Amino acid sequence: MKQFDILLRALLPLSVIVLLAPRLWGQAGDTVVVQTFSFDDPSPQGWSAPYRGTFTFPPASETFEKVLMYYTLKCDPATAHDSYPCGEWDYLSYTYVVDSAGVMDSTYKSNPTWRFITGGDADSLPLRYSPTWTYYQEWQPYLLYTDTLSWQEASLGTDTQTLDAPFSTSAPTGRAQFLWRASELQTAGLSAGPISGLRLDLSGLGSSVQKLRIRLKHSTLDSLTSSSYESGGFTEVYYLNTTFASTGWQSFAFTQPFVWDGSSHLVVEFSYENGTAGQPSPVRASAATYSAGVYTAGNDHYLDFDGSNDLVNLGSGPQLTGTAPRTIELWAYAGAFNNAGLFQAGPTGATGQDFSLRTMSTNNLWRVQLWGTPDFDVSLPGSLGSWHHYALTYEAGQARLYYDGILMHTESVSINTGASDFWLGRWSGDRLLGHIDEVRVWDKALDGGVIAAWKDRSITAAHPDYAHLRAYYPLDEGQGLTATDLSGNGFDGTLLGPPDWRRLPDTALRRDWTTTALRPNVVFEQGTFVSSLDSLLSVDSVQQAPLQVVVFGNPSSPHIIPDDHPQHPSLPTDTLLVWTADTYSYVYDLNSGAVLDSVFIAADTTLYRGLHEYYSNIVEYEIARYITPYGINLDLGPDGTRWIFDVTDYAPLFHDQVYLRAGNNQELLDLKFVMIKGTPPRPVQKIENLWSGSFSYASLWNDTQARPITKTLDPQGDAFRIKMRISGHGFGGSSNCAEFCAREHSLSLNSLPVFSWEVWNECANNFVYPQGGTWIYDRAGWCPGAEVTTFDFDLDNYVIPGQTVAIDYGIQNPAPYSPEGNYVLRGQLVTYGPPAHTVEVGIEEIISPTLEDKYRRRNPVCDHPRIRIRNNGTERLTKVYITYGVLGGWAPCYYIWEGDLGFLESEEIDLPRFNWLGMDEVAPVFYVQLDQPNGKPDEQPHNNYLQVEFAPVARYINKTILEIRTNGAARENSFTITDTDGNVVMSRDNMQNHTVYQDTIDLPKGCYTLHIRDDNVFGQDGQDGISWWANNDGVGHVYLLNPDGTFLKRFGADFGMDIYEQFTVYYDQGNTYFPELECDPFPDTTTAIGDRLERPARLYLYPNPSPGAFTVELDWDQPQPLDISVYDALGHEVYQQNHGIPGRGTLPLQLLLPDGIYLVRAKTPTATYQQKLLIQR
């Protein structure tokens, strides 16, 4: 638990802040500060993990006029997200209060009665409990000879040894290659030209050979080995389901002759796919004097991943953590580059904790995903759409990626892999479209030579690093939901989805080659025939992919069900392996893919989508949302940068023990709640969530998400408000929705449209700049490094207490564009009690001058202070008296605001300029006091006063030079310098590209505003500063130079929309008297702090400045006795005289006083007037 402090908010300009002991809650106007998370808290671990904790707040019996949340972020290397002090990317960041009382609201919960095991469901699922099949039909050609026109043959091999290959049909699939050197072929009498067929001598009869394929190729190899054989470029000459009727010589007539060039070696490849194991048909063979053959046969399967549902969880057993050495290798086929992973062996969200190999969105580009700075990308040519071997090793800070046994990249990395399950076929939320085979995990970084030597071999004890084998998944099961670990460690994996088992095709067999000198005795035929082509129909069946369905069979009811109930509706009760039904099984042409026939598959049963609906007393209230800035090279300052959220509407949640979840681990977070005691303008009675979630644009438009909600308004309520917080994310299509498109959103009550608003934020004026990414781009409801806008809609004119209201959220029709992206949406209904005040005004904030971070783009100032006031009373506010100035100043200024504000309406007010004279040189303080709203006493006066520290503006000597070097988009740039009356005294536009402009600032004494703009031109471009990384405009700069050309100030070039700076010339703010900046201290009627003064007259001093002789003029209707006093800058009275009743007119005075600033005070029996006087000779 963390304790709180209470700050006493003073009502006078010379205020004192007093720390009180905890639980001494104080009086109205006192401020309770509850410190929750701080910079000292450890950065949370995990992907964008939030800070979490429970904190002590004041008791529920206390009331607060206002609650502010001070949200301060700081860059620090201790952040866990990545290697940058501030996180690299713009991520969503939420602040939640989790309430378990269930008094104001409960949380509606629902889950389907069934769903697919990897997520998602459907309205209905017709299914079968037994497999369904897809059929592939092909016509296999063969030749029928009717006459022989010429004939020649070459015979090679006379030994009687036997060889099972190439017809090793004791295994379901097989592949064999045999080499005959050119010299052997020539000696045997083979002539250059077409080879029309061949014969082999069978020594035994076995099973038929299905899909027997014979292919020939010219070769430069002079021998064949398991690591050196022909992998492609063959000519297919024979393809037929073949049954041998007898032993002896069997002829294979080529449907396409192979033309031998007469000089090249010849490789003949035989392969088959039988589907099941049978008996071999051995051939008679002869031994060559060299390694002349390789063959392999087996039952080699792989897993086929569909890109959406399929994955394999190998559990935590194979996982290697920390900096342990390791190797992960596998064969894979990448069917698409969609950011999915071959494997994920570490958690996301924290620098160096992941250990994954994944595709990028660019073809053939891969990322070794270690998370954050350690990540590296490698291009692997040809990896799209074909099988390859991948191996990733790590040891002693070095990561190495091997591709088909070849080292492609070495990277120095710092990792600390976290504990997690080991996954195949995914990375984060992206799923692999492709295949995976032969997965191996080692607790050693294997040598590259070992990887290359064993990539085509099954793992046996003969492997030199067999003792370091942690897990081994050949994936040859061919059926079931288990990936069996053959390492002996028992780390079996589970198929989810599931991915399909597929047998590796005959021509793709690549593992466990046997090298031999034996070759089949062969006769190569070279003949010319009269023939005809016939074909044999062959049909194969392939089991369709099953589905895993999770069933939730526990009962539910529309009331609160505890989350820990043993028969909770969200607990699964069964998992089914089923096949889709009430559809057709198709027969396809194997070669063209055309549909040839179909058979209807009737369902055994149908699962209908039901919904378990119930309630939980655990309610999450989002009270604020924030988007982190692009953090590369960002500095938020040694004390951090602060955002202030008004969370008064959530005040009933902040009592006793409060569980908070806030921020994420991209930056350090300091979170304070500033709770100002007093009576709120209207008390919050209840807060209820309406909609909460991330919803696709399409689902919002078609009303399948954020559907209408019917609420019966509390009959005890007096007023109601809907709070909406919406931010658009993701983009695609031509409109770049939802992140980069402006869209109208709406609310309807009982089918009546009542509110509509555009969700769109301008970002180039963000006060957190420059940032590392595309921070200037406008976005839907947010900007990087800014809060998400909350929209408040008061229902006072549309509903009454106790009424039943259908509340419907709507979004703009996306047409003619597609509805891309998603919106994170929160809607809340707030119920209020009756207003507490009739006449009450409050000072909300001082916008300038201030040191507050969010106003730094328009501060410091030397001209008009700006404030914001709010009417907190039910009586319309039409007038308020304002006293303002600087602490330590000579005298306050007075202003009467007149306007028209309804209940809870606010307005920004530009106060008349003033002289700032007498402000503290180290920590100047500006104050504002409100008084007499509508000429009446304020019912809650403690919020009428506010003071802030501020910084003085820069003082520049005359003839300072403004230098602008334009970039390649000078049309966007312009500047003005204006005086305090808004008159433009200097300006420039229509500048040329890549040109240096120097303008000398030669101005009289005064306060000025320099405004340099980078505008959108013709509705595009612009607002991107004068140098920015993400455009092609080139580089520019903005400097202030001393008259001698030396640097005075360099403005940052990546400034977004504009540069705004106020400055003085010949005038030192706060230390120099400047009558042109003087406020009018004597309006017709005004109020001093704590002292009501009627002022029916005006006091004039002239000339002012004065050489010592000046005239006092009083303008009044009723002459009165007059006493005049003069005070020097130290407050000493240097002149005092009673002048009787001077009447209407003038009173000349001659004062022999040194040069300086003086205060002239004229006092009558009913009023006091004062004015500053500068004596200057």
Same structural domain for residues 450 and 554? no
In the structure encoding, which two tokens stand for residue 1062, read together? 């106020």
- Let me know if 779 is exposed, middle or buried by CB neighbors in 10 A (0-12, 13-18, 19+): buried
Same structural domain for residues 1113 and 1041? no
Q: How many CB atoms lie within 10 A of CB 1150?
A: 10
For the ranges 221-235, 832-846, 906-920, 1129-1143, the lowest mean pLDDT is seen at 1129-1143
* Contacts (Cβ under 8 Å, ≥6 apart) of 273: 172, 173, 210, 211, 503, 505, 506
Residue 14 confidence (pLDDT) above 80: no
Cα three-residue angle 748-753-756, rounded to 5 degrees? 90
Q: What is the pLDDT of residues 511-562, one digit of tens each?
A: 999 999 999 999 999 999 998 999 999 998 889 889 899 999 898 888 778 7
Same structural domain for residues 457 and 489? yes
Cα three-residue angle 417-419-423, rounded to 5 degrees? 90
Identify how many contiguous H helices and E strands the chain contains and give both numbers.
3, 86
Same structural domain for residues 965 and 1045? yes
Same structural domain for residues 671 and 687? no
User: What distance in Å separates the CA atoms of residue 960 and residue 1043, rounded to the nearest whole number?
Assistant: 5
For the ranges 20-29, 59-68, 1126-1135, the lowest mean pLDDT is seen at 20-29
Give me the phi and psi of 277, to 5 degrees please: -75, 145
Q: What is the pLDDT of residues 418-429, one digit of tens each?
A: 899 999 999 998
User: What distance in Å separates the CA atoms of residue 77 and residue 372, rounded to the nearest whole number?
Assistant: 13
In a domain, 134, yes or no: no
In the structure encoding, which two tokens stand for residue 465, read together? 């690093």
pLDDT of residue 1142: 64
Same structural domain for residues 216 and 285? yes
Residue 139 confidence (pLDDT) above 60: yes
In the structure encoding, which two tokens stand for residue 166, read together? 């190439």
pLDDT of residue 641: 96
Q: What range does the domain containing 198 cover? A: 142-297+514-529
Same structural domain for residues 831 and 866? no
User: What distance in Å separates the CA atoms of residue 1077 and residue 670, rounded to the nearest whole number?
Assistant: 40
Same structural domain for residues 703 and 642? no
Q: What is the pLDDT of residues 384-418, one digit of tens each?
A: 999 999 999 999 999 999 999 999 999 999 999 98
Q: Which residues of 734-749 are buried (b: 16+ CB within 10 A; e: fewer)?
A: ebbbbbbbbbebebbb
* CA-closest candidate to residue 481, choices 468, 469, 464, 498: 498
Compute the average pLDDT of residues 1085-1105.
51
Same structural domain for residues 666 and 694? no
Same structural domain for residues 688 and 670? no
For the ranges 127-141, 207-221, 587-601, 1118-1132, the lowest mean pLDDT is seen at 1118-1132
pLDDT of residue 102: 65
* Contacts (Cβ under 8 Å, ≥6 apart) of 523: 153, 154, 155, 156, 198, 199, 249
Number of independent structural domains in the chain? 8
* Contacts (Cβ under 8 Å, ≥6 apart) of 990: 971
- Matching residue, tokens 């009542």: 754
pLDDT of residue 659: 94
H or E segment at 700?
helix 697-701
For the ranges 77-81, 594-598, 667-671, the lowest mean pLDDT is seen at 77-81
Same structural domain for residues 267 and 189? yes
In a domain, 25, yes or no: no
User: What distance in Å separates the CA atoms of residue 598 and residue 134, rounded to the nearest whole number?
Assistant: 9
Share of the chain above pLDDT 90, in %: 75
pLDDT of residue 889: 78
Banded model confidence at residue 9, pLDDT cuts 50, 70, 90: very low
Residue 1016 confidence (pLDDT) above 60: yes
Compute the average pLDDT of residues 832-861.
97
Q: How many CB atoms lie within 10 A of CB 479?
A: 9
Residue 853 confidence (pLDDT) above 90: yes
State the Cα torsion 404-408-412-414 to the nearest 10°. -40
CATH number (domain holding residue 329)? 2.60.120.200
Q: What is the pLDDT of residues 30-62, one digit of tens each?
A: 889 999 999 999 999 877 889 999 999 999 999
In a domain, 4, yes or no: no
CATH number (domain holding residue 736)? 2.60.120.230
The answer to whether 1105 touches 1095, Cβ cutoff 8 Å, is no
Banded model confidence at residue 805, pLDDT cuts 50, 70, 90: very high
* CA-closest candidate to residue 846, choices 909, 770, 798, 794: 909
User: What distance in Å separates the CA atoms of residue 1019 and residue 752, rounded to the nearest whole number?
Assistant: 35
In a domain, 454, yes or no: yes
* CA-closest candidate to residue 272, choices 168, 354, 189: 168
Q: What is the pLDDT of residues 477-488, one digit of tens each?
A: 999 999 999 999
pLDDT of residue 43: 92
In a domain, 313, yes or no: yes
In a domain, 396, yes or no: yes
In a domain, 859, yes or no: yes
Same structural domain for residues 1164 and 1103? yes
Compute the average pLDDT of residues 646-653.
96
The answer to whether 720 touches 711, Cβ cutoff 8 Å, is no
Last residue of a domain, one of 916, 949, 982: 949
CATH number (domain holding residue 1129)? 2.60.40.3080
In a domain, 6, yes or no: no
CATH number (domain holding residue 1013)? 2.60.40
Q: What is the pLDDT of residues 582-594, one digit of tens each?
A: 999 999 998 899 9
The answer to whether 364 touches 383, Cβ cutoff 8 Å, is yes
Q: What is the pLDDT of residues 171-194, one digit of tens each?
A: 999 999 999 999 999 999 999 999
pLDDT of residue 1098: 57
Residue 152 confidence (pLDDT) above 90: yes
Compute the average pLDDT of residues 634-643.
95
Last residue of a domain, one of 562, 587, 616: 616
Residue 21 confidence (pLDDT) above 50: no
Banded model confidence at residue 1118, pLDDT cuts 50, 70, 90: low
pLDDT of residue 24: 35
